[in-house]
Amino acid sequence: MIAVPHYFFWPFDVGISKIDRERTRARTHIADAVRLGVLAQEEGAELRIEGHLMACDVCGESSISIWERAREKADPAAFVQRYSCLQTRNALFRHLEEGRPLAEAAVTHLRECIGCGQHFLEPGKALHTLAVDEAAVAAQD
């Protein structure tokens, strides 16, 4: 009988200590299940990402700046590549977690797509309203 280990290694992890494997993993603070659900446009994950954007200090500040950038209503350049929902959401995750610059095509998509705008711009709008004038929150509803 062959002994089967109770854990599995990625093929390149053989010979690398557990501490080194932990150190080389990507540092993310949005759960993988939420990330995959948002990319797959699952409703429950989309609601959880809205809650995360409202609760997380780092993502909250970024979502406010994204909302302010999207609200400028600047005309897109004539030859700007259009992003799909998947490309836009992936760019947003990279912007929120890694600090990568957000492409203008992604901001244009957020302005035009009702679903993406609702899940990614509305939390920034609500946080901006809370930061500027807490009394205006009642007027927003």
Q: Residues 104-126: pLDDT tens digits?
A: 999 999 999 999 999 999 999 99
pLDDT at position 98, please? 86
| Mean pLDDT along residues 77-102 | 88
The long-range contacts involving 111-118, CB below 8 angstroms and separated by at least 24 positions, are 111/70, 111/73, 113/85, 113/88, 115/41, 115/46, 115/85, 116/85, 116/88, 116/89, 117/70
Weakest mean pLDDT among 13-22, 62-71, 72-81? 13-22
Domain map (residue ranges) of the chain: 30-140
Distances (CA, A) of 78 to 16, 22, 45, 69, 106: 50, 45, 34, 19, 15
Task: Give 15 or 122, the one with higher predicted confidence.
Answer: 122
Higher pLDDT, 5 or 17: 17
Query: Which tens digit of pLDDT belongs to each residue from 27-76?
Result: 678 888 999 999 999 999 999 999 999 998 889 999 999 999 998 876 66
The separation between the first and the last C-alpha atoms of the chain, rounded to the nearest angstrom, is: 66
Residues with Cβ within 8 Å of residue 69, at least 6 apart in sequence: 102, 107
Distance CA 66, CA 72 (A): 10
